[in-house]
Each structure stands twice: as structure tokens, then as C-alpha cells.
Structure 1
Amino acid sequence: MAVPGRKMPERFSSSSTMGSDEDIKVYCQPCDHDGPRLPAHGYCVDCREHLCQTCFTFHKRHTLSRHHTLLDKNNMPQTISSTSVHPSQPDNLTKPCDKHMKEMIKFYCQNHEALLCSVCVTLEHTRTSCKVNYIPDISAQVINSKEHQVILKGMDTITEQCHKKSEDVKKITAKSNSSLTDVLADIKKFRTEINQRLNELERQAEDAAKTIQQENNKNLKTVETTCDDVTKSLKTSSDAIKHLNTTKQADKLFMELKLAEQMAKDYEKRVHHLSVYGVKEYNFRPSKAISTLLGKERSLGTFTEKSLKQSNPPTAVDIKTRQTSHQGKICVKTSKDKDTCYITGMTLLTPDLLIITDRNNEAVKMVNTRNKSVTDQLQLDTVVSKVTSVTSTELAVTLPDKQSIQFISVSSNKLEKKQTLKVDGECYGFSCCQGKFVVSFQYPAKLLILDTNGTILTTVRGGNIFRNPVYVTTNTNSIYVSDRNMVTITRLNWQGEVTGSYDGTSEPRGITLSDDGTVFVCDWERNVIEEIAGDCSTGKVVLKDLSSPCSVCWCAETSKLYFSCCTREDKHDNFLQVFKLS
């Protein structure tokens, strides 16, 4: 089918001389362009072309031309008009179709608002289902149209948005980069402070060693001087005795012998009391606290308010056989308490300062582990569940009935309430690590990872993972959750992905991490405390024949394990048990 605007063959060009036989007899223009010359049988008003009988019949059937106006042989123009040879509008449709690269886009479907080629129209947008227009027939109406103005305005708006977005990101990026420059400076400053402190400790150790050396040298000098004096004195006396004996001076020899005898006794005592046994050999034993810190920590610190790529989890830790010894117990019942204690949470601020939560008496208590006494008690007048240390002078507890977290400061051995943080549900399990909180909820069962402002970073839904996740503990690599209903200890990374699970307990409750990466678990039903590997692969009972252990806390510096009991009996529940594990 010929398309208006297409250049005609030279035989129909304007340069042909009109009036010849060819001018009198008209031929099929499509066939004359591509095939044999055939006489015209009709005429298409829309296409402005003469058609042979075959093209005329096909024109009435084709999807694109079936609605065109056709004139039969008797009514058709008897000459080729100049408008057919020279269309008023040139053919500018040269954009190829995305689907059919050899075809040009020439049509527009109003139903689908799509630009089409003739193949698209034939296969996908027939006139029976779509309203298809030939672009040259409708294009004139878009010039200076409202649509033209609206589209340009929309494009300008998007351009402005892109410019604004680019500027905003540029400003934010500059601030971020500037903050990271400050972070790098802080890291260097922190490292300098660490170096200065280590240098100071090194100087102290060196001074102590030098003091001992000086004492040793002083003692040596005293011994050498004394022994030298005694030796000289004894030799002088010995020489005199030998001379007097040789010369047979009996009187003088007698007196010299008696003097020598007394002098020998005096010198013997003097030599005997010389400090020889006080001189010792020495070995260096590194500070356990520093060694533990260096072995446990994986970084100098964290970049707060930024998403962190966690380092790879540590490899499985073999559980060593431990020697255990009972170190006594600590009474945590006070005159303010109205009920039997129910210690559900505990955390250490220092080796001598243990913080516990007493659910029954709605209190947070400060325990001096050295004196084995409660030194302060903060009443909260609501159920308090778990506790975690935030800094060396700040801690936080979960208040499930109030669906909130209560921050508490520690100053001058006093506990004082600070701000509260609302959370989404009844919160129970609680742990803080590297400026992030991990909080567990029971109804529905879930785990939230928050920043210290309460912004939710990650949500872990219960599903097949949790049913009753009450106890939580964390380190820089992993999160461990104790679930008494699922009867599991579940290990997750900081993206909330499960990386391990241990199901060797009967009713797990309180959990705490040791300094070498293992996990101590209170098995309430079996009356034992079990130690499981950091990858949750194996476990071993370390304490048995206990009284329903409930909550537990490990002190790396002293290698002591503190735990509470839940028996509903005063003789057990009002005390913390203390064991040393080595």
C-alpha cells in the first residue's frame, strides 16, 4: 500500500509530458512502483492513489485501509493529480520501531497511548480492538496545543526536581564526608590516648622493675662490703695467731685466741643475717583484664548512625573442661521489699558492681559483689524485666507493662531515673552492644534492633524462629536469644539472619556470654547451667544440682558466674549464687 508523501516513480514525475498515451491511461500506482504496470481499476480518496483490481480488493480487506473511501473505475479520477505526485506534506516518519527495527513508526493507538509501526498495528492493535490513527492525519493539532504546554511544564518540573535532588545529595554527602573526617581525627585521638595510657602503664611496670633491681644491687653491695670486712678482719686475726704461736708468746696467744673466738661468733651471726633469701627471680604475668579486652574486642569503636557491615562470625569454640568452686551467696532481700525476690535480669558495670532487676518487688538494685550487700535500690512501681549496661555510668531496663525502656544513671553509688523510650509492645529481653539495643517481645513474638534513639533498624518476626523470646545477650558478631517454648538458643547476625541454633536444653532461661565467646544458659527444668559453643554446635553442663536457675551473669575479670533462682521459696530466691569457673 502506498503512503501519502512517498516519492513517485520517474514515470509519474512532474517532468513527464502530459497528453501522451500514458497520461490518458492511468495505471495502478502501487504496482507501478514495485511491480508490473497494470491499468487502474479504482481510486482511494484517503491514500490519493489509483489501484488495480487486486490492490483495490486487498485495500478493502486490510486492517489499515478497510475504512478508506474507494471510488470504482467509473467514478475514479481519469488522470493522476498533482497532489498524488507531490503530496503537500513530506514524509518525516523516520523513527524506527523498538520491536520491529526495520519498520518506521507511523501510527498512534489512543487506547494504549502507544506509538506503532504497521506490524504492531497488524499484530497487536487491530482496528476492531483499538482506535489507531495515522500520525500525519492527527499531528497538526499538537502544535501550540495545551498538551504540548502541559508536557513541557512536566518536563521542566522533573528537571527542577533532579537539580534539587542533586544539590540536596551534594550537601548531605559533603556533611557526611566532613563527619567522617572528624571520625578519623577522633580515631587517631582515641588511639593516641590508648597509646599514652599504655605508655604510662609500661613506665609504671618499668619503674617497679627498676626499683627491685636497685634493691637487689643495694643488698648485693651490703653483702659484698660486709663479707669483705669480715674476711679481712678474720685474716688479720688468723695471721696474728699463727705468728704468736710460732714465736711461742703464750700469754699474747691465749688472749688473741679468746678474742678471735668471740669475733668468729659475732661474725657468724652477722653473716647469717645478711639478706640473701630476699632476692628472687621474677616472671611477667599480663593483666587479665587487658588481655581479655584485647582478645574480645574486634574494633576500636563503631560509627554510630550508620549501617555497619558485620565482620564474619567467629569460628566454633571448643568447650573446655572447667574447674568449679562455690564462692558463697549474696542476699538481695531488703527492708523495702514486700515479696519474695524474683531476679529476672542482671548486668555488671564493674567487677565489684552488679545491677539486678527484681520483678516481684518492682525494683532495680545495686549489689556490691565484694561486700556481698545491696547498696542502693530504685523503686519503679511497675513490673521491671531485664537490664543492660549502656555505658559505664548508665543502664537501661525494660518495663513490659508500660511498653517502654527506662534509662537509669549510676553516680556516687546511687541509681537515678532518667528519660524513657517508648517501644512497640511489651518488651522483655534486652541487650546493648555498640550503640544498638536488641529487644525481644512475646505478643506477638519478635525481635527488634534499635538505635539508642528508638529508631527501628531491623525487625525479626517470630514465625518459625521464636515463640517466647525472653532472654537476649549480644556481642559484636552475634545475637543470642533464649526461647523457653521453642526450647532453643537461637543465634543471629546483626542483619537479623539466623546463623545457628541449639536445642539441647529442656527449658532455657537466662543466658550470658563468656569472654571466649561461649554462652552460659540456665536450664530451669534440669536444674543445671550449660555452656554451649559460640556457633551453637555443642554444649556441656558446667554446674548441676542447682535450684531452678533463672538469670545469669558472667564476670570475665574474676571468672565468676552469678545466677538467681526461681523456686518461689525465700531460702533460694532471695539470694544470688556465686561460682568461680576456671
Structure 2
Amino acid sequence: MPKKVSSSLTMGSDEDYCQPCNHDSPRHPAHDCCTESREHLCKTFTIANKRHTFSRNHTIQDKNSIPQSISSASAYPTQPDKLCPKHKEVIRFYCHDHRALLCCRCVTHEHTGTLCKVDFIPHISGQVINSKEHQDILKAMDNIAEQCRKKSEDVKKITAKSNNSLTDVLADIKKFRREINQRLDELERQAEDAAKTIQKENDKNLKTVETTCNDVTKSLKTSSDTIKHLNTSKLAEQLFIELKIAEQMIKDYEKRVHDLEAYDVNEYNFKENEAISTLLDMERSLGTFAEKSLKQPCPPPPVEIKSRQTSHQGEICVQTSKDDDLLSSCIMGMTLLTPDLLIITDFNDNAVKMVDTISQSVTDQLQLENDPWDVTSVTSTELAVTVRNKQTIQFISVSSNKLEKKQTLKVDGECYGLSYCQGKLVVSFKNPAKLQILDTNGTILTTVKGENIFSRPTCVTSNTNSIYVSDRGMKTIIRINWQGEVIGSYGGMVLPGGTTLSDVGTVFVCDHGRKVIEEIAGDCSTGKVVLKDLNGPKAVCWCAETCKLYFSCDPDQDEDDHFLQVFKLS
């Protein structure tokens, strides 16, 4: 039976009053009902309903003539109505311009048809079931949950490492403490308290990160389960609303996860206070906590390999009167000290040569005992050269355009590739194949080895982010971080050889087997051949200031026996 309108203005159900204005004072009686939105309307809102583009075609009936099943039926039989947070009324509409879910009051007062594109949700929600938007929202939720998991694991690992380093600090403190007298007891306690305070702060910060990540993950799981249920149940309207709410939730949680990046953890070691041994009365601490951040540096942005224009700029003869006429020059390594000064290693002639790129001539030559392989610049006046059979690194000074031997550094194997960056030498070895990172005094800081990583690592180059190893056995360029971890690789080569870094973070690689020089991205994701049909390129060097690429070729090719090739790239 039709439901009658109550005559009371103070008593009666919500259906006796206009729902869009039921928070106004005085409350207006309902006279009509919109069958599409299931809203009871006063005369004013009936007129407004007919004016809006999205609702002008809705069916308006007298409230008393609407069957009970329509007037009181919920649009959401298995899910509670989602209410507008501002007006506390059921959400029925969506504004495309503001990407906002709306109730009837929102539409009437704030998102009018002349200002906004507003749609009635039942009219537009039909295609969200199994839609791309539905899949993208769930995927975005899964991505954030995965970020939380990884972030929590990473912070837990570096926090443990930091705490372990502080444990070592405490052991060093005690060892140092035993070497001095009892007057240092109080200072020892101060140092211990400092370490424990940092550990406590580390653990507190870790708990904050874990709590945040757990909260986000649980919330995403709840929302994701709801979305999946609604999609399976084909409840389009509720699914549409839930997806829009999830959309905003994703933005909020992305910011919360991003804010966790502010948490930094340091590694510590103990530095003794040397003066304390003789000046106990003047000193106030046992030493300091030297910090080394464990936070991983942000990787450089990916570099797109652009197409380059190439032009041959000529060739430079590197044969001298000191060379053996019966042997061809075999240039295995090269480095630039300045745009005008190129240093090369001539393996066959056991020599390090200085090449003036302006006059295109060798201006000095330093003879070594045998087998110089690779060369790198340590400073603007100092070089280092790997001497393979001697298992040494020979340091060479450059002064007044003269090369002079300095100290040598013994290494534990036949050394090949060599690179220098920020106080560290990177050296590659064969038999067994490995890579070592050393300081300039020869102290081994990191060793990377393994038959699954290296086979014949002959050339290396490096920057502050990465070490690039050219491995002929693996036919691959292997990218390693300064902690000795493999973080990328670029395959598809035949006999990769000499490498050099460009000024934009890409790597030029000689592929002797394919007779090409290829430029690969810094993250080893892509590559592009820049020069082809070469006579077995071996060593290569890039000059950023002149945009010139210098490279040597196979000495078995008669026409390239004693020459460096010069190309300009743009």
C-alpha cells in the first residue's frame, strides 16, 4: 500500500521530510520522490532536480504514490550507505571536475550543473565491474603494500647493522679503556650511554616505521578485500564509491610511505682520542662516534640513449723511436688528464705514453719492466697502472710534461682493469676471476668473486654510484655498487673490452667481437651502437669538453697498427 505523508512537522520519520534539506531549519515537508536517486524532495528541491543536466530526466512522483519497496529500499542491500562527510547524507553523485563524491546537498549548493559536470552514480557505475580502473586501484594498493614491506625489511636490516656497529664500538671502547688508568671510568660510562642512547633512538625509529607500515598494510588489505567482494558481488554503485575512496586513500598512503624516507640510520665506529693518553686531566671524552650513513643513495635517473651524429676527426700515430719495430702497438688502456693530455698503455712495447691531442703526437714515454695493462688518473698529476705479470700497481707522477715512476703497490693476483674514484681503487683479476676495492695504501676494502658473477673481467670503470666491469667470458657488462653487490648487467655482446663513462652517466663499451662501440645506459637497461664496422676496438676514452671519443684497434689490423682513432659525437 502507498505510504502516507505525516502531517506533523516535528514528529514522523525521515521520509516525511525533504532529505536534501533535512538539516536546515525549519525542516521542509517532502512532497515528491525521485525514483532514480530515491530521495524525498520538497517543492524547492523538486524544481532544482529538474534543472540539473544529470537529473532533468529523472522520474518525479508524488511521495504518497511511491510503493513502500521503492521509498524505503536501501540502494545497498549488503553494504551500509556511504555518507557525505560534510552533510552526513547518502552519497549519490560524482563530480568529474572536482573528482568528488557528493550527496544531494553538495550538488544543490556547491556543484551546480552550470559549474560542474555531475553524474548520478547509478547511471555511470555500470562499467566499473572488472574494469581497468578496478584493476589499477587494486594494483596500486598492492604496490604500496609491497613498498611498506620492503621499507620495513630494509630499515630493520640497516638498524641491525647500525646496532651491531655500536656493539663493536663498545668493544673498542673497552679495549682502549684497559690501556689507560682508572681515572677514565666515568668517561667510559659516558661513551657507553651515548651508544645506548643511539641504539634506543634507532629502535624507537624502527618501531615507528614498522607501526606505520603495518597500519597502512592492514588498512589497504581491508579496503582491497571490500573492493574484491563488491566486484565479485557485482555491486557496481558501492564498488564505484569504494574505488573513489581508495583512490584518495592511495594518495594519502603514498605520502605516508614517502615520508618514511626521512628516517636515516648511521653506522658507527670508534675513533680513539690520541691526546687522552698524555692529557687526561684536560680531556672530556674517550673519543667520537664516526658516522657512515647506511641509507642507500638514490639511484641516478634513467638516461635515455639518444641517437648521435658521428664524424671521423682523424687518427693519432703513437709509435715512437723507442718502440720495437717488429711489434705493433697494442693499446690496452687510456685515460685523460686534461682535454689536451691523453695517457695510454702500450702492452707490446711495455710503455706508458703521454699523447698531446692538439699536436697529435707522443710527447713522453716511460718504459716499464713488462705487461702494463690499464691506466687510471688518481689526481691531475698522478697516475696508476696495472702491471699484470708483476702483480703490482705502479704509481706514476706527471710533472712538466714528464712521466716518472713513484711507489708500487703489491696486489694478490694478475691485475687487469683499473679505475679510481673518491680515494678508492677498483681492480679486476683473472685466475681466479674477482674484483677488489682497495684504498691507495693497498688495504682491501671489498672483494667480489664467484663463478656466477665473473669469468674474465678485463676492464673496469667507475663513478660515485656504480662500478662497471667488462667481462669477456660472461659476454656482459656487469654493474656493481660500492658495497660489492651486483645491481645490473647488460648482455648480448661477443667480446666486450675497454669501457669509459660519458658526462651524462652512460657507458661506452668496445665490443671487439662485433667490431662496434656501444653506448649503454647507466642502469644497464638499454644500449645503442654508436660506431660500427671498426677494426676490433680495444681501449676507449671519452672527452666531455670536446665531445671526442678516442679508441685503439686490434694491432693485427695493418692499417691501425700504430694509430688511435678520433671521432666526434654529437
User: TM-score, normalization: structure 1?
Assistant: 0.48
